[in-house]
Homo-oligomer: A and B are copies of this chain.
Amino acid sequence: MTDQATADLWPGERAEAARRLLLAAVESFAGRGYHATTTRDIATAAGMSPAALYIHYPSKAALLAEISRTGHRATLDLVERAEAAEGDPVGRMRRLVEDFTVWHARGHTVGRIVNNELHALPEDAFAEVAELRIRIEETVRRIIADGVAAGAFDVPDIRTAARAVTSLGIDVSRWYTDRSSESPEELGRRYAVLVLRMLGARNA
């Protein structure tokens, strides 16, 4: 059940046991919801004892916090790379929407958890994740504002437009499944066309 995007979130540098616990937590939260999952469920799914789990994570909330932080850092990272890419605002926005859509389609399991369980985060993790979300939203707004300043976009309300761009991408995690007829990449290209039109791009 673990999709590639979820596995990619925690590459080799981390202790193998911690990685197994994170993947088991993603599957357990996705399967029965965060609140109904126990640390015992997660330990069992990882093939470990609850005592072994506590060596790595003090609670299921600590696992959720790590999943949410990693997921948000990964999306902020791709959004910032799109902003730093060469080319004009149209090209940077196209790349942002393509990459953001692909991430949420390929990582739909972890994307759902990361976006639906914010209220369950411990206070410090919530503050950190809220800050990452603000930076994602601000980066999208900056690219739109750059495009408006360059005369490439025509946007009456940058805040609402940026919200629509991130919302479209995030919601992909809700509806996309491995049985969806479009590949993540194809969906990303189509969404980029729709978003550029939404932003009144001159030559989209």
Contact = CB atoms under 8 A, between A and B. Distances in A.
B160 A170 contact: no
Contacts of A157: 190
Interface residues of A, number: 30
Copies, count: 2
Contacts of A200: 197
Interface string A65-101: 0000000000000000000000000000000000000
A193 interface: yes
A105 to B, nearest CB: 12
Interface of A: 32-36, 115-116, 156-157, 160-161, 163-164, 167-168, 170-172, 174-175, 182, 187, 190-191, 193-195, 197-198, 200
